[in-house]
Amino acid sequence: MFPSIEYLEWMWGRPDEARHDLGSSDLHGDRDESGVIPRRLRDRSDPPGDLRVEDQLAEVYGVDPESVLVTAGASTANALGAAAALERSGDAPRALVERPGYEPLVATPQGFGATVDRFRRPATEAYPLDPARVERNLTPSTGLVTVTNRHNPSGRYVSREALAATAEAVADRGARLLVDEVYAPFVLGDDVREGPFGGVSAVGLENAVVTGSLTKFFGLGGLRIGWLIADRSFVEDVRRIAPHFPAVSEPGRHLARRALAHRAALASATRTHLERNAERLASFAETRDDLDGTVFRGASFGFLSHERADGNRVSEAAWDRGVLVVPGRFFGDEGAVRVSLGGAPSTMADGLSAFGEVLDAL
């Protein structure tokens, strides 16, 4: 049986109800997207009619189109990747997932019948991904290891070298490393790379499965466009499973083609948005003596703890004043809250000011 995903149930409707949304992590602007076509795509041209989303993503990631599967959002991509990896690992599969971590990445393998083990990304060390720690927690039945990059909820970046060492350890056990890269493009200035959407990617590493979407960085969540990238053999396994999951709509595909055709221009505008919010959040955290935690360079979200109150109390007190922040219990750490500045930069200062008043009153 599939377990409830408490985070999604708790979050449902709150961004629209909140006076100050510091919970949504996608870079969504003011959310005024009336009409079928998102505003940022309305005046942009379509690419040639024979160019598929798969072809565009293959170019972005430097792979063959046969290594790309387009999905109905990154959550579907993650579920498909988990299902295929666990199916390959026998009758009593196990999955290994980072802690703290995004709850659906734990609940979905459980729904497929896997026993889920956890490995720690310790707050005391600023949430690194330690390949040796991963290796120590592998078992002969582990078929899937799941990490996020940027790390959700802390925003910590993982280097290509650390990902490669982790992938090697996982591959030695015959398992798959699933890297959710929805936050990988959250980079600024000199950190922007030549790789996919400017971020670090695990694409091409042995036994690595990469997922992404147009939701977080590009703020196009309404399109429900995600993807999975892996070696051809694994993608073929996923294609066989895919009919059991939601299909991608043709209008979504059409608008995704348009977005990817203009990805450079869209990314430039998004990075201006990201830079303003990331700087604002970092400055806020630095000025609060009652908060502990790091806002990593280029991240517009962070996992912060209060000196006098746990994450549940902070979140509840904030919600009483119309401020949405996410309690850390949904990520496996009740001591913290995830604070995200995804909205229009012009509104985020007021949101942080209101949140500061909440913290002062604790």
Question: 95: pLDDT confidence band, cut at 50, 70 and 90?
Answer: very high
pLDDT tens column, 181-238: 999 999 999 999 988 999 999 999 999 999 999 999 999 999 999 999 999 999 999 9
- For range 336-351, the mean pLDDT: 96
Q: What is the mean pLDDT of the chain?
A: 96
Task: Flag whether pLDDT at 258 surpasses 70.
Answer: yes
Q: What's the pLDDT at 331?
A: 98
Compute CA 264 distance to the chain's CA centroid, rounded to the nearest angstrom: 20
Say how far apart CA 239 and CA 242 lie, in whole Å: 5
Tokens of 134: 């991963």
Say how far apart CA 21 and CA 177 lie, in whole Å: 33
Q: What's the pLDDT at 233?
A: 97
Domain ranges of the chain: 6-35+265-361, 47-261
Q: What's the pLDDT at 90?
A: 78
Compute CA 117 distance to the chain's CA centroid, rounded to the nearest angstrom: 20
- Residue 187 is which amino acid? V
- For range 239-251, the mean pLDDT: 96
Q: What's the pLDDT at 32?
A: 57
- 336 neighbors 303 (Cβ within 8 angstroms): yes
pTM flag (> 0.95): yes
For domain 47-261, the CATH class is: alpha beta
Task: Flag whether pLDDT at 34 surpasses 70.
Answer: no
pLDDT tens column, 266-302: 999 999 999 999 999 999 999 999 999 999 999 999 9
Measure the CA dihedral 329/333/335/338, to 10°: -70
- For range 126-130, the mean pLDDT: 98
Burial environment of residue 321 by CB neighbours within 10 A (0 to 12, 13 to 18, 19 or more): middle
Say how far apart CA 227 and CA 55 lie, in whole Å: 12
* DSSP letter, residue 23: S
Percent of the chain with pLDDT over 70: 99
Tokens of 210: 């990469």
For domain 6-35+265-361, the CATH class is: alpha beta
Buried b (16+ CB within 10 A) or exposed e, 107-119: bbbbebebebbeb
Q: Which are the contacts of 197, defined by CB distance < 8 A and separation ≥ 6?
A: 60, 184, 185, 212, 217, 263, 267
pLDDT tens column, 142-191: 999 999 999 999 999 999 999 999 999 999 999 999 999 999 999 999 99
pLDDT tens column, 292-328: 999 999 999 999 999 999 999 999 999 999 999 999 9
- 131 neighbors 166 (Cβ within 8 angstroms): yes
Instruction: Output the CA angle 139-227-190, nearest 5 degrees.
Output: 90
Task: Flag whether pLDDT at 329 surpasses 70.
Answer: yes
Task: Flag whether pLDDT at 36 surpasses 90.
Answer: no
Question: 35: pLDDT confidence band, cut at 50, 70 and 90?
Answer: confident
